[in-house]
Structure 1
Amino acid sequence: MIITNVKMILEQEIVNGSLEVREGRIVALSDTQSRHSSAINGQGAYLLPGLVELHTDNLEKFFTPRPKVNWPGGSAMASHDALMISSGITTVLDAIALGYINDQGTRLANLERMLNTIVSSQQRGLNRAEHMLHLRCELPNADTASTFETLVEQGPVAMVSLMDHTPGQRQFIDSEKYRTYYMGKYGLNEAEMAKFEAEQTAASEKWSDANRQQIAQSARQRGIALASHDDATVEHALESSALGCAVAEFPTTVAAAKASHEAGLKVMMGAPNIVRGGSHSGNVAAAELARHGVLDILSSDYYPASLLDAAYQLANMPDNHYDLCQAIKMVSLSPAQTLGLTDRGSISEGKRADLVLAAACDERLQVQQVWRQGERVF
């Protein structure tokens, strides 16, 4: 396969030219136009590496499209996969929450069903993107560590994150924000919220530290990438570094992001934060971290199309450290390297032909075609 007349976004430069693929790998790049009759004409659009998504809970929307509605797993997975690939995402870490703090929710009920569907569909070759697992471990729960040890053996777990959403911790250092968030989310009145808050605080005091140490040790022994979550202080960042975390997911302050970056963790922020112009929960804006030069990876989180949109917007923002090549690396090469996936993430000879053809349209990049290992999937 030859793709010609494209602006190839490489690691350090953008090259107008052509690319050749054989047996699913990139074998040659050229700064000239191909005259081969079967070459695919990109009409001057951008050609970029397939995006690598480290943290998305998008699958949950398809398993539970409405409250108390459980959708068949195969259909849910196919719809989720189609949305991923049409957003230019060729490698996906589907985030599965365990030890979730509200045992009345749908996440725990769907846990095993979602995991089995992801693993089965990938093994059977039903997915257009490549799907792996990201286990999100809510630490203040008696069953989190044991559940983790069971699930980590059942599928291709590529990342583990350590979460603590109790009042006074990470995302919710401001307890008033905690009360506002959960009263709205679960429809709790004042008395119910006070009881809920007390229960979660007690659970955190009893289980969080032990679970954090046990799960981190288990992930390190298995060679699985470890991520912190919502670190808010320098102390949090140093603790995460000491545990062996490779990624700082969604730090909530500039101080925590800077400390994480300086400690060698890859700072990851939500792409919706860029697109919307700030955090929906009132924490630090991703664009501000970009201006400080401490933003390394973007994740689509809850909105798949935001990943490419955010990278393109970031490259066009004034007063930051990222041109288009650097911004695209944040959604391709940097996350791939974090997972140790050396076969993808950039357009270069020998890498997998995971490719996205996208044209600039109304201040965003519109995905036109997608290939995974040289096979067109969109």
Structure 2
Amino acid sequence: MHTISQASSTPLAGITGRRVMGADGIGLAMLGIHNGSVMAQPPASGPCIDAGDLLVLPGIVDIHGDAFERSVMPRPGVSFPYGAALLDVDRQLLAHGITTEFHGVTLSWEGGLRGEAYALRMFDALAQLRPVLGAEHKVHLRFEAYHLAGVETALSWMADGRVALLAINDHLPTMARRMSDERKLVQYAERAECDTETFRNRLRAASRNAQEVPAAMSCLIAAALAANLPVASHDDPDVATRQHYHAQGCRIAEFPLTVEAATLARQIGDETVFGAPNVLRGKSHTGAPNATEMVAAGLCSVLASDYYYPALLQAAFKLAQLGVCSLPEAWHLVSRNPARATGLRDRGVLAPGMRADAILVDDSQLGLPRVCATIVNGEVRHASGALSMTDLADLADVAGARGSLAA
């Protein structure tokens, strides 16, 4: 028996533990790993993590996270290169158990941080850094509906395979109502890297596109579906809006603003996404439905980090602690369900044939779960301390553990 104290690129052959989350719940199990995938039977030999009493859980899949914006622009108007920012974000993701991240990259009429130039920096940085990033990074394109000048750009990005999920956003009406709030106006302008009058002019110009917006969004949605991309609508305010987008093939309702919209979405088989920070705080910061209540009512199928990466891990444990659902049920909201919603059928559960994306969690301190190790595609990508390692050939009880992981 020996230990490793940091991430290693050496492929694992297995993980054993007394609290492994499999298809039948949490219990004693041996996860065999080969070529980055979970095996029905462990190999005869190879490096194996002994997790002991740590929880072994499927890696978190974050369907929507835009906290990277704070690494790129930590203060309004103060930007940093995407390369260094994404390396920092990658460390954050791994430390909080996120093995697959959908970055919410916005293409908006606003410009600045949410304009085309910054999106291109994200694409370039991801392409350059992919070999050294520990988590799997994907782009969730948040397209602002009134940005007609960006439609051709978005179409080309989807055709080039740069986008993994399309979401239709429409924040213009809300922003227009806030133009009399000088504080908000200054915030918008600083993010857009312009003065307040320029921002007002950009908003006015975008507003003139109202009549053409529906047809343009139908075009975008059709192109995404033709490319086999999942499509979401953002902030559905009512039942009619959800019906409209469902009819066009948008099967994800992202942050629905009313209980009625969420209810309809679930009734017609659509995924409903709410924010994990909402669970932690006990309320929405925008007055949207209470996410904990939505989970309890069966109206939330997916939780997203939204603007705070640590929230996913913590929210799942909080839901279990409150008795809203069991830990395996809560974990489906942050792993299996978002993987399913985004078409990633190869991850989200620890079962034979699936990707070996897993995290080891110390939950001994109530309310403060801590990720001790993160495994991505069968390799240790993060370790916060020493991990107990052995060789499968030396495990006397392998035979007893064989078959304990349900298919």
The TM-score bracket by the shorter chain reads 0.7 to 0.9
- What is the CA–CA distance in structure 2 between the aligned matches of 1:217 and 1:39, rounded to whole Å? 46
Measured after TM superposition, the shift of residue 194 of structure 1 is: 12
Task: Show structure 2 runs of 5+ residues with no match.
Answer: 1-12, 191-195, 383-407
1:291 corresponds, among 271, 293, 296, to 296
- Match for 1:121: what amino acid? L
1:344 aligns with: 347
Q: Does 1:159 align with 2:171?
A: no
1:369 aligns with: 373
Determine helix, strand or coil for the equivalent of 1:91: strand
Q: 8 Å contact 1:9–1:325 — kept in the other structure?
A: yes
1:46 corresponds, among 48, 55, 68, to 55
Q: Does 1:148 align with 2:154?
A: yes
Greater displacement, 65-74 / 280-289: 65-74
- What is the CA–CA distance in structure 2 between the aligned matches of 1:179 and 1:323, rounded to whole Å? 46
- Match for 2:249: what amino acid? G
Greater displacement, 60-69 / 300-309: 60-69
Q: 8 Å contact 1:50–1:89 — kept in the other structure?
A: yes
1:77 aligns with: 86
Structure number with greater CO (CA < 8 Å, separation at least 6) is 2
Post-superposition Cα deviations, 1:151-201, rounded to whole Å, max 9, x if no partner, equal 22344421100011132xxxx4x986786584463379xx97996797278
TM-score of the superposition, structure 2-length normalised?
0.81
- In structure 2, relative to structure 1, the CA distance for the partners of 1:4 and 1:282 (3 Å cut) is same
2:258 aligns with: 253
Larger radius of gyration, structure 1 or 2? 2
1:10 corresponds, among 14, 22, 25, to 22
Task: Show structure 1 runs of 5+ residues with no match.
Answer: 31-35
- What is the CA–CA distance in structure 2 between the aligned matches of 1:193 and 1:24, rounded to whole Å? 51
Matches within 5 A, 1:185-204: 185-186=187-188, 199=204, 202-203=207-208
1:353 aligns with: 356
Q: Does 1:133 align with 2:146?
A: no
Q: Does 1:87 align with 2:96?
A: yes
- What is the CA–CA distance in structure 1 between the aligned matches of 2:295 and 2:201, rounded to whole Å? 36
- Match for 2:301: what amino acid? D
- In structure 2, relative to structure 1, the CA distance for the partners of 1:108 and 1:67 (3 Å cut) is farther
1:57 corresponds, among 55, 66, 72, to 66
Measured after TM superposition, the shift of residue 76 of structure 1 is: 1.3
- What is the CA–CA distance in structure 1 between the aligned matches of 2:224 and 2:79, rounded to whole Å? 31
- What is the CA–CA distance in structure 2 between the aligned matches of 1:274 and 1:102, rounded to whole Å? 30
Task: Give me the identity figure in percent.
Answer: 30
Greater displacement, 16-25 / 83-92: 16-25
Measured after TM superposition, the shift of residue 132 of structure 1 is: 1.4
1:331 aligns with: 334
Q: 8 Å contact 1:10–1:325 — kept in the other structure?
A: no
1:33 aligns with: none
- In structure 2, relative to structure 1, the CA distance for the partners of 1:195 and 1:74 (3 Å cut) is closer
Post-superposition Cα deviations, 1:122-173, rounded to whole Å, max 9, x if no partner, equal 2xx1210111111110011221311211222344421100011132xxxx4x
Post-superposition Cα deviations, 1:239-266, rounded to whole Å, max 9, x if no partner, equal 1110101211000110111011112110
Q: Does 1:23 align with 2:26?
A: no
- Match for 1:368: what amino acid? C
- What is the CA–CA distance in structure 1 between the aligned matches of 2:163 and 2:16, rounded to whole Å? 37
Determine helix, strand or coil for the equivalent of 1:135: strand
Determine helix, strand or coil for the equivalent of 2:84: helix
What is the count of residue pairs matched by the alignment? 363
Determine helix, strand or coil for the equivalent of 1:5: strand
Q: 8 Å contact 1:29–1:348 — kept in the other structure?
A: no
Q: 8 Å contact 1:119–1:156 — kept in the other structure?
A: no
Post-superposition Cα deviations, 1:340-366, rounded to whole Å, max 9, x if no partner, equal 222111011121111100011231321
Q: 8 Å contact 1:179–1:193 — kept in the other structure?
A: no
2:272 aligns with: 267
- Match for 1:54: what amino acid? I
- In structure 2, relative to structure 1, the CA distance for the partners of 1:194 and 1:221 (3 Å cut) is closer
Determine helix, strand or coil for the equivalent of 2:164: strand
1:113 corresponds, among 121, 124, 127, to 121
- In structure 2, relative to structure 1, the CA distance for the partners of 1:209 and 1:70 (3 Å cut) is same
- Match for 1:186: what amino acid? Y
Q: 8 Å contact 1:354–1:371 — kept in the other structure?
A: yes
- Match for 1:25: what amino acid? S
RMSD: 2.9
1:313 aligns with: 318
